[in-house]
Amino acid sequence: MKKSWEPASPPPPSLHSSSLRRRFTSPEPTPPIREPPTPVPAMTSSLSKLYSDDVSLVVVVVDTNPFFWAASALPFADFFSHLVHFVNSILLLNHLNRVVVIAAGVSSCAYVFDSSDASAPGGAGVAATFDKTSCKMKEFIEQDARATKGNSSVDSGNAASLLSGALSLALCYIQRIFRSGTRHPQPRVSNILCLQGSQDGPEQYVAVMNSIFSAQRSSWVLVVGSEVMRRSNAPVPIDSCIVGTQDSAFLQQASYITGGVYLKPQELNGLFQYLATVFATDLHSRTFLRLPKTLGVDFRASCFCHKKTIDMGFVCSVCLSIFCKNQKKCSTCGTELQNAKMRQAIQLGPER
């Protein structure tokens, strides 16, 4: 019997065939999906980082009253040496910091040191700048002594330094630096340090208080072209270091109102240690330190008529001028003070 024709079955596939290799071997790995690279932000230079962190401007007001230093236990040469070391320590904390020294004499005040002169291109080094500063300080003291000698109204026993003029120069310099534009690295914070030895001058009461309130309400706006780049309403702290025997009522009020530090060192031989540990710190670091605090502040004012410090006086209700004695007419604004009618009304009492 014949068998029907059937197609021959295909031979078993060989192990080397491509179909088995595709069936029994692991599939080829899928290439990973490449994500677009994340843009890396441009790295800021160390200059811009310091520019935005803690670049500070310190203006030091130095009392050069010859009558005080002639009777002081600390020679002026040693005091100036402490001052130079203190200025160097501030400049070492950040090479972008700026320090300005203003000398306050009896009859005048002037700039004697500016650290930007040493760091400017083509400028002298720090050592040469300090040599020039010592020469400028000596010239200023001699010039102020000649001006004081020719002024017959100055009492050698109670001569006060020109603190009001020095504070005005310091505030003007700070405003000029903050408004100067982006040509120089702009400091973020600024403060004034007053190294005072002589006693207060009551005749400077109005000018000193005006400077204090100007520092408290200090504000500036940086405008480049027609665009406002930066503005600030932060006060300028006034730090006070008393190197004399008497406290300063002016500087007590200045440090209290502006948020500064008032210190009267016990040992003047270690003056640099006080300056470095208390006044060399920036404003942000002070929030982590236990700084010295004054036990009390002398808020007594000076009368406008005799320029004397008084405990109780009479105040003009229009311009707030202070007088030690009863006045019929205010010498400042010209308002007639009707004190006689007021006393009569007080004695009679209210009408019924």
The whole domain housing 313 covers: 309-348
Dig out the tokens for 207 from the structure. Answer: 């000018």
Residues 272 and 344 in one domain: no
Q: Could you tell me the CATH number of the domain that includes residue 132?
A: 3.40.50.410
Residues 327 and 223 in one domain: no
H/E run at residue 49: helix 46-52
**Residue 253: how many CA atoms within 13 Å on its side-chain side?**
15
Residues 242 and 284 in one domain: yes
14 assigned to some structural domain: no
Of all residues in the chain, what percent carry a pLDDT higher than 90? 36
pLDDT tens across the length of the chain (352 residues): 555 555 555 555 555 555 545 554 555 555 555 555 555 444 333 333 433 456 889 999 999 999 999 999 999 999 999 999 999 999 888 888 899 999 999 999 999 999 887 655 555 556 676 788 889 999 999 999 888 887 766 666 678 899 999 999 999 999 888 777 654 556 777 899 999 999 998 889 889 999 999 998 876 555 455 554 455 667 899 999 999 998 999 999 999 999 999 999 999 999 999 999 999 887 888 888 888 887 788 888 888 887 788 888 888 888 888 888 888 888 888 888 766 455 555 555 555 4
Residues 65 and 171 in one domain: yes
pLDDT digits (tens, 9 = 90+) for 140-186: 999 998 888 877 666 666 788 999 999 999 999 998 887 776 545 56
Residues 227 and 337 in one domain: no
Angstrom distance (rounded) from CA 258 to CA 212: 7
98 assigned to some structural domain: yes
Angstrom distance (rounded) from CA 22 to CA 76: 97
Domain tally, the chain: 2
pLDDT digits (tens, 9 = 90+) for 129-143: 678 888 999 999 999
Across the strands, what pairs with 109? 104
Dig out the tokens for 5 from the structure. Answer: 């024709």
Residues 106 and 190 in one domain: yes
Pairing of strands 309-310, 301-302: antiparallel
- 157 to 20, 106, 202, 230, 352: CA distances (angstroms): 115, 12, 15, 48, 58
Do 290 and 249 meet the contact criterion of CB atoms below 8 Å apart?
no
